[in-house]
A and B are shown apart, each in its own frame.
Chain A
Amino acid sequence: MDGALSKNMTLLSHHTLNGFGGVGEGMAVQIAKDGRRIMWLAHEGPPKNFTGVDVSDPRNPKIICQTDLPHLRMRSNSLDVTDQLMVVCYQVATPGDSPAGIELYDISDPENPKKISFFDMSGPHSRGVHCCWFCDGEYVHCAGGADDFIPRHIRDDQIYRIIDVRDPSKPVEAGRWWMPGTRKGDATPPPARVRPMPLDNIRGPDAFRLHNVNVYPERPDRAYLGYIDGGAWILDISDMSDPKVVGSWNPHPPYPGFTHTVMPLLSRDLLVVADECVQDDAEDWPKLTWMVDARKEDNLVPISTFPLPSVEEFGHKGGRFGSHNIHENRPGPSMRSEEVIFGCFFNAGVRIYDISDPYRPETLAYFVPPGPEGSRVPTAQMNDIYVDENAVIYSVDRWAGGLYTFEADI
């Protein structure tokens, strides 16, 4: 690919999704009943909702389905798939608007997803759902608002909600948790803001709300939460109706906030904790990915950070530069390595790390695509990543570049 920087990675294909190449944080692979592999992608913003891409041949991806949102004041951004069931998140720009919640689809006919049900999470103070995790076919773990949750700060509206979808036609809430102090009426005082921001734009930083939550079948009693400026949390969800805090860790401040993902490496008692860069031109540098020693869940200790190229080199190329999504070792047709971590870092591209020595993560490979046409910034903004069980790497651009597939010689 002309203009790309790469080490030990090869581009297999690039698809701009019929001109709607802005993809959010929902990437999931379905093995269809006829054996095809369908990559489902949630778009970053309107007008598109989600797109299904046949990646049975990753060198030749083909769109099979592309849907629209009901209106332009909302986004999907996130989805997840287990077997033939897909969950799509709906988030609105303004609290109180709708539809806001999660929608369940039967995708057994991938060309024609069928709506099964909608779980409403709208409310006067709610923007709906930002991110979801659904890998056991039974519970959706998500960052969502609620009509009966009043946050103390307008940006702290999305809490941890667990939705029972064992009967997908009748989803019901199984439990919820929020960071103490963030709800109106909490006995705990509100947390001190890390980097206060004006309220004319309620997206972005300066928030104590949930971003990602991960729950794994090997440890179903544990939820791992990235709570933005609230840091990383481990909850005991053996009783989902009453999640309990096991441990937490928060480097913010002095670091500039936005803990995004907490991924446990369950066979190693380690966590990979990824921040998210949310501002262009290195305004919120450094946004890091951390290795955390979790041998004592109630005493989490950071031990290293993943190396990145210098901020002098990438910070002012345009767009964001720094950590964001990592491949989360989800169950299903997925790579599940605890020694090789795949991540995307906006204009620093897709990067692969060897963490066999967790005290010294090392870069194995990277691919930095050139800035795609039609993007609002001059660089590629690699936004999310998924690695299948054959180590085919799928990554997406946030604004216009669409879907990239790679293989790595590592």
Chain B
Amino acid sequence: MELFLCFGKVASLEVAQRNEGAEVRAAGGGLGRQVALINEATPAFCLNSPGWMTPGPELIAAMDTRAALRLLCRDRLEALVPGFAPRVREFCSAYLDAITDRIGQAEEGDDISNPGDRFFAGLLPLPCPKLASPEAVVGWVEADVGFWDGNVLTLIRFGAETSLLPRQRAEFAALEQVSKGQLRVLWLPFGAGPDTLPEPLMAVAELAQLPVFGPYRATAFRAPLPIEATEL
């Protein structure tokens, strides 16, 4: 089943679906700056997944330490959070802290096997995702944070179910049913941190391969790729 969602600061869901959504669809799915298209073949959305942030080569070249890269990642994620979503901002920040705690701080150096680089293989929290109902079962449903781990889209809502109208609660239930295990909804209390997440959402960082491509590739792979060296 195909799942389409917008996330971050999206003013018009329909325009985002029509414009950036079309671009992502033409590319076969995956992540855009504020949209995502998920099908059976879509790999997990991680911090090092292409599409959600598009720093230019000059900016990446300026990130000459691992700490700077992690800070850029954190900064770009925070910039996605809408203004009036402080609990989402806190959760995303705490999630990145939790990944760092699990894998340890990466040390600076040229080695290509620094386990701390697995930070970038942590799952990408999608702030304020809005899911277009598959098979038009219902309208758009909104959550506080989303994760795609390659198998299941987890939508997190803070607060009790009584924060939603009965119609909205029923829509979530209907979506879970029709998605046949590809979607689940988690209700977390206000102020809940990533320690309340199911283990699989935290374990990716430990299992991931070291990135060799993309903005978070290890130092040894930092020479510009041919496409980046092309002058337009």
Residues on A lying within 8 angstroms of B by beta carbon are 218, 266-270, 293, 295, 334-338, 340, 356, 358, 389-391, 410
A268 to B84, CA, bound (A): 5
Could you write out 22 A-B pairs with CB less than 8 Å apart?
A218-B190, A218-B191, A267-B158, A268-B85, A268-B86, A269-B84, A269-B86, A295-B83, A295-B84, A295-B86, A334-B162, A335-B162, A336-B160, A336-B163, A337-B162, A337-B163, A337-B165, A389-B162, A391-B165, A391-B166, A410-B165, A410-B167
Look across to chain A and name the residue whose beta carbon is closest to the beta carbon of B84. Answer: A268
**Chain B contacts for A334, CB-based, 8 A:** 162
Give chain B interface residues in 81-97, CB to chain A under 8 Å: 83-87
Give chain B interface residues in 156-192, CB to chain A under 8 Å: 158-160, 162-167, 190-191
Residue-wise interface mask of B (57-83) relative to A, using a CB-CB cutoff of 8 A (1 in contact, 0 not): 000000000000000000000000001
**Chain A contacts for B158, CB-based, 8 A:** 267
Whether A338 touches B83, Cβ cut-off 8 Å, given contacts A266-B190, A267-B158, is no
**Chain B contacts for A336, CB-based, 8 A:** 159-160, 162-163
Look across to chain B and name the residue whose beta carbon is closest to the beta carbon of A355. Answer: B84
The listed residue (A267, A293, A340, A391) touching B159 by CB distance below 8 A is: A267
Interchain CB contact under 8 A, A267 and B87 = yes
Provide the main secondary structure of the chain B interface: loop
A55 to B84, CA, bound (A): 36
Interchain CB contact under 8 A, B165 and A340 = yes
**Chain A contacts for B190, CB-based, 8 A:** 218, 266-267
**Chain A contacts for B166, CB-based, 8 A:** 390-391
Most buried by A among B83, B162, B164: B162
**Chain A contacts for B165, CB-based, 8 A:** 335, 337, 340, 391, 410
Give the Cβ gap from A107 to chain B, nearest Cβ, in Å.
Answer: 22
A218 to B158, CA, bound (A): 12
A266 to B158, CA, bound (A): 11
Residues on B lying within 8 angstroms of A by beta carbon are 83-87, 142, 144, 158-160, 162-167, 190-191
A345 to B160, CA, bound (A): 28
Look across to chain B and name the residue whose beta carbon is closest to the beta carbon of A390. Answer: B166
**Chain B contacts for A356, CB-based, 8 A:** 142
**Chain B contacts for A270, CB-based, 8 A:** 84
Interchain CB contact under 8 A, A337 and B84 = no
**Chain A contacts for B159, CB-based, 8 A:** 267, 336, 338
Interchain CB contact under 8 A, A358 and B167 = no
Most buried by A among B84, B144, B160, B163: B84
Interchain CB contact under 8 A, A338 and B167 = no
Give the Cβ gap from A339 to chain B, nearest Cβ, in Å.
Answer: 8
Beyond A269-B84, A293-B84, A337-B162, 4 additional contacts (C-beta under 8 Å) are A218-B191, A269-B86, A336-B162, A337-B165
**Chain B contacts for A358, CB-based, 8 A:** 84
- Which 10 A/B pairs are nearest by Cβ-Cβ distance? A268-B84, A389-B162, A267-B87, A269-B86, A218-B190, A336-B162, A336-B163, A391-B166, A337-B163, A391-B165
A334 to B166, CA, bound (A): 12
**Chain A contacts for B144, CB-based, 8 A:** 267
Give the Cβ gap from B14 to chain A, nearest Cβ, in Å.
Answer: 15
Give the Cβ gap from B139 to chain A, nearest Cβ, in Å.
Answer: 12
A340 to B167, CA, bound (A): 13
**Chain B contacts for A340, CB-based, 8 A:** 165
Look across to chain B and name the residue whose beta carbon is closest to the beta carbon of A219. Answer: B190
A266 to B191, CA, bound (A): 11
**Chain A contacts for B160, CB-based, 8 A:** 336
Look across to chain A and name the residue whose beta carbon is closest to the beta carbon of B89. Answer: A269
Give the Cβ gap from B16 to chain A, nearest Cβ, in Å.
Answer: 15
The listed residue (A266, A269, A293, A337) touching B164 by CB distance below 8 A is: A337
Give the Cβ gap from A254 to chain B, nearest Cβ, in Å.
Answer: 27
A390 to B86, CA, bound (A): 27
Give the Cβ gap from B113 to chain A, nearest Cβ, in Å.
Answer: 41
A338 to B168, CA, bound (A): 13
Look across to chain B and name the residue whose beta carbon is closest to the beta carbon of A337. Answer: B163
A358 to B87, CA, bound (A): 16
Look across to chain A and name the residue whose beta carbon is closest to the beta carbon of B164. Answer: A337
Look across to chain B and name the residue whose beta carbon is closest to the beta carbon of A265. Answer: B84
A293 to B82, CA, bound (A): 13
Give the Cβ gap from B46 to chain A, nearest Cβ, in Å.
Answer: 27
